[in-house]
């Protein structure tokens, strides 16, 4: 979609947050203060990311709760979010911390919970590719926070968004009404509104998936991808492009800007594992933004925002993007679950059917 021309002086993030028309309901001052702290954390992490290996770092690196080796910027980003946002929240969940943080002297008493992936795509740091951060704000249900208070479904999010650290530093957020993107002005250090009212087209000719996992996909995903690859000569009658960045936050931003569909489906590499991405602080904020922009987000079988987590680091399959494409995949999954054949007609696979294994 063509970008709208910018005003001479785009609105600052602070002015945007102060305008109650961008919220579902006028926010408490403490909530607006938390959103301001999130923006400062994103700006500080962006500054650290630009330094690369020039960033001072002496702490010991560990393997995080996900079994992933930490990068220096993982630790720095987590510390920045905790320092900036801690006084404005009563609890925190982070990908880089095994247990939730609450009843902690670093935190305040405002009735909010913050869940974050402080550095999404950290494996990209060594190759100077795009990385980012996800954040989501939930309301604390009681004055005294308990671990189970974080286990709210995605519909309960009152603020969700991400930062993107690439050619520019971006902050994309929903406060309840629409999705809006802000670019960091390096001259004065102010986030300014550059992507107002981001929306997705209903149709697309672009999909993103890690094709190296193809042999592990379920037949509904195999069928969907094969139909896209068949191009104009196939059932879809359109030529599709495939993309893959390696950072969920970058995939999300591209789809919000120009449409498309992202797939990280369940696969049978580890059948007992529900999926690869984290529900609470990756899938939920992504889904909140996608739905607010007119798209859809699903596991292939159920709506992401309707899932109640059972653990703070729970994983999930994730499919999101333009509604028509997500609906098509859900239809394939429903048919497969009913025992219907997945029929392939391509030069590669010739003609065969894949049936559900019972």
Confidence of residue 64 (pLDDT cuts 50, 70, 90): low
- Looking at residue 350, its pLDDT comes to 41
Whether the Cβ atoms of residue 287 and residue 280 lie closer than 8 Å to each other: no
- Looking at residue 351, its pLDDT comes to 41
Strand partners, 192: 12, 183
- Residue count of the chain, please give it: 358
Domains of the chain: 13-195 (3.30.540.10), 206-354 (3.40.190.80)
- Over residues 189-241, the pLDDT tens digits come to 999 999 999 999 877 789 999 999 999 999 999 999 999 999 888 888 788 99
Does residue 357 surpass a pLDDT of 50?
A: no
92 or 52, which is more confident: 92
Whether the Cβ atoms of residue 110 and residue 133 lie closer than 8 Å to each other: no
- Show the 3-state SS of the chain: CCCCCCCCCCCEHHHHHHCHHHECCCCCHHHHHHHHHHHHHHHHHHHHHHHHHHCCCCCCCCECCCCCECCHHHHHHHHHHHHHHHHHCCEEEECCCCCCEECCCCCCCCCEEEEEEEEECHHHHHHCCCEEEEEEEEECCCCCCCHHHHCCCHHHCCEEEEEEECCCEEEEEECECCCEEEEEECCCCEEEEEECCCCCCCCCCEEECCHHHHHHECHHHHHHHHHHHHHHHCCCCCCCEEECCCCHHHHHHHHHHHCCEEEECCECCCCCCCCCEEHHHHHHHHHHHHHHCCCEEECCCCEHHHCCCCCCCCEECEEEECHHHHHHHHHHHHHHHCCCCEEEEECCCEEEEECCCC
- Over residues 117-136, the pLDDT tens digits come to 999 987 777 777 899 999 99
Predicted TM-score (pTM) of the model is: 0.91
Residues 6+ apart with CB under 8 A from 302: none
For residue 108, count other CB atoms closer than 10 A to its CB.
16
d(Cα 130, Cα 308) in Å, to the nearest integer? 30
Does residue 322 surpass a pLDDT of 70?
A: yes
């Amino acid at each position: 979609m063509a970008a709208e021309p910018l005003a001479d002086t785009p609105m600052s993030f602070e002015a945007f947050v102060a305008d109650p028309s961008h919220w579902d309901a006028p926010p408490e001052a403490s909530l607006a203060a938390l959103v301001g702290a999130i923006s400062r954390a994103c700006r500080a992490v962006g500054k650290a990311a630009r330094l690369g290996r020039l960033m001072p770092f002496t702490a010991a690196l560990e393997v995080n709760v996900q079994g992933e080796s930490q990068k220096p910027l993982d630790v720095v980003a987590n510390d920045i979010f905790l320092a900036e946002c801690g006084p404005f929240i009563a609890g925190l969940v982070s990908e880089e911390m095994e247990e939730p943080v609450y009843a902690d002297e670093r935190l305040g008493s405002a009735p909010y919970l913050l869940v974050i992936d402080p550095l999404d795509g950290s494996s990209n740091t060594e190759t100077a590719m795009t990385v980012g951060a996800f954040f989501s704000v939930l309301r604390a249900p009681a004055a005294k926070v308990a671990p189970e208070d974080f286990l709210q479904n995605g519909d309960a999010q009152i603020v969700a968004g991400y930062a993107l650290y690439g050619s520019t530093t971006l902050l994309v957020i929903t406060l309840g009404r629409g999705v809006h993107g802000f670019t960091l002005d390096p001259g004065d250090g102010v986030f300014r509104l550059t992507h107002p009212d981001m929306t997705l087209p209903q149709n697309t000719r672009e999909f993103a998936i890690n094709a190296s996992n193809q042999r592990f996909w379920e037949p509904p995903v195999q069928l969907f991808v094969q139909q896209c690859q068949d191009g104009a000569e196939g059932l879809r009658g359109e030529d599709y492009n495939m993309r893959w960045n390696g950072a969920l936050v970058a995939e999300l931003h591209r789809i919000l800007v120009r449409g498309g569909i992202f797939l990280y489906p369940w696969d049978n590499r580890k059948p007992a594992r529900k999926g690869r991405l984290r529900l609470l602080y990756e899938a939920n904020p992504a889904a909140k933004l996608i739905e607010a922009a007119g798209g859809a987000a699903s596991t292939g079988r159920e709506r992401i925002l309707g899932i109640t987590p059972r653990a703070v680091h729970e994983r999930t399959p994730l499919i999101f993007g333009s509604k028509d494409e997500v609906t098509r995949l859900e239809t394939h999954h429903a048919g497969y679950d009913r025992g219907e054949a997945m029929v392939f007609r391509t030069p590669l696979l010739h003609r065969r059917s894949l049936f559900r294994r019972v």
